[in-house]
Chain A
């Protein structure tokens, strides 16, 4: 097996001296597509931020491309899509410029971007259904459009690892389908993708590897092995019912008459 692109070895990390994840061991191989699931406050975002060097690491090591990640030191060759936080409407930043920020660390030290870089930004915006929005201030875009734009920013540097924090939250169905289609396309082209989500049915149906976390890793494996009532109860502290129909896995609320879930394919 090749060496992992991303490795957590006994990692305890958090904020202000308070660990949000503890003793995490997780190795991700190049080209994998991994979903991290867990309840709110379980440390999903901290796990990603430990890779970007924006959280404190109290024990263990995070290794990216065989180089140790240190808190406060920026890492390279990552595309990162943060949780959506809407930008103010009057922010004077055009959509294309926001996407091009993804190249800020590697681009030439002049205030403008090259024709090729601009063409790449336009092509990405087009792929994400934002053709014609290049000159639109980002604050005038809808939440779903801003989420697509953040994904374009994460993709523009052709990073070998793209991490997404809750990309499925707060977006409409069309945006969701576009984003997921693009992630699938990226992954097929060899990009390693790690994302966090609350959408259990979607990860069960779409991702080959799922990591359940609640401060510590509870389970790690293929959906068929991980999506069990016992594992999810240990992860979420709530009882669920798993319905299996061939390859399909459906997670439902275990309470009587609960029918709040959607079937995943």
Chain B
């Protein structure tokens, strides 16, 4: 019991825990649509692009968060646009846009070595630095996107599963896809402080993939992915505290362990079904 209560003796822990839960749920839910669009690495791409906005913001004395928001939204829209271009596959669009923006940020940093730009927090996250204003931002983003998902569920699910069909049935599919990319960019930006740029893709893709192993309907799959993402954040935060490892990797490892268990269960279930079928036809 002490293992569960001890972390709360530290002021930062509740903030970190809540931030992790919101980020896990938000990225987990959005991840289902990302995986369905076969753009699993868009989270990684968007987060890498952040440096393209953070570096110029820091060097200009602007709030780095604003730079991150701007760069991520620009990257999202560019990936969306370039990926629709004939001859450019969506995965190639992610690679092109994110690496170019990342290179732009690195180039700026390297050209200004006399000015300190701390990339550690950006790359690996700094959950110890999360305060109440961060929680408010993450919670507000989660709430806004949850409401948007509720209201636009029908056009969103139609577009994500069949964009051409949606267009032909009166849905502005291109607008829906662009709006989804902006929503994802917002989720990435608010998640960076918790998990860091390098591990964003994991919190987007793993809970969604775990959920899809068993889900047969989109609504329950999205809800389960959000729950799995939040659960991985809780487990990861406690592990991080007690084992003294960084929170981002701890959350991702917890999520990965959940996926491994689900994969084993899914495989066993398939084997059992085959055996039952063989027995029935023996």
Contact = CB atoms under 8 A, between A and B. Distances in A.
A137 interface: yes
A54 to B, nearest CB: 5
A79 B83 CA distance: 28
B173 to A, nearest CB: 8
B218 A104 contact: no
Contacts of B153: 110-111
A87 B161 CA distance: 9
Contacts of A102: 169
Contact of B215 (A78, A92, A97, A157): A92
Contacts of B165: 80, 82, 101, 150, 153
B151 interface: yes
Nearest to A83: B164
A101 B173 CA distance: 13
A91 B161 contact: yes
Contacts of B212: 90, 92
Nearest to B211: A92
A75 interface: yes
A104 B168 contact: no
Q: Is the interface of B mostly helix, strand, loop or mixed?
A: helix
B2 interface: no
Nearest to B167: A54
Interface residues of B, number: 32
Given A90-B212, A92-B212, A101-B158, A80 B171 contact: no
Nearest to B154: A104
A78 B169 contact: yes
Contacts of B168: 49, 52, 54, 74, 78, 80, 82
A53 B174 CA distance: 12
A215 B102 CA distance: 46
A244 interface: no
A107 B170 CA distance: 12
Nearest to A139: B216
Q: Which of A15, A16, A93, A137 has the most CB of B within 10 A?
A: A93
A54 B218 CA distance: 26
A103 B154 CA distance: 9
B217 A82 contact: no
Contacts of A53: 167
A106 B221 contact: no
B157 A101 contact: yes
A49 B36 CA distance: 25
A72 interface: yes
A94 to B, nearest CB: 5
Contacts of A107: 154
Contacts of B150: 110-111
A53 to B, nearest CB: 7
B155 A105 contact: yes
A119 B254 CA distance: 42
Interface string A84-127: 00010011111001100111111101110000000000000000
A97 B169 contact: no
Given A90-B212, A101-B162, A106 B217 contact: no
A73 B173 CA distance: 10
A80 B169 contact: yes
A16 B86 contact: yes
A62 to B, nearest CB: 14
B214 to A, nearest CB: 9
A101 B169 contact: yes
Contact of A82 (B161, B164, B219): B164
Given A54-B164, A109-B151, A135-B216, 7 more contacts: A74-B168, A74-B171, A74-B173, A92-B218, A102-B169, A111-B153, A111-B219
Interface of A: 15-16, 49, 52-54, 72-80, 82, 87, 90-94, 97-98, 101-107, 109-111, 135, 137, 150, 153, 157
23 contacts: A52-B167, A73-B172, A74-B171, A74-B172, A76-B170, A77-B170, A80-B165, A92-B36, A92-B215, A92-B216, A92-B217, A97-B157, A101-B165, A101-B166, A104-B154, A104-B158, A104-B169, A104-B171, A105-B155, A109-B152, A111-B149, A111-B150, A153-B169
Which 3 pairs across A and B sit closest by C-beta, in order of nearness? A105-B170, A111-B153, A80-B168
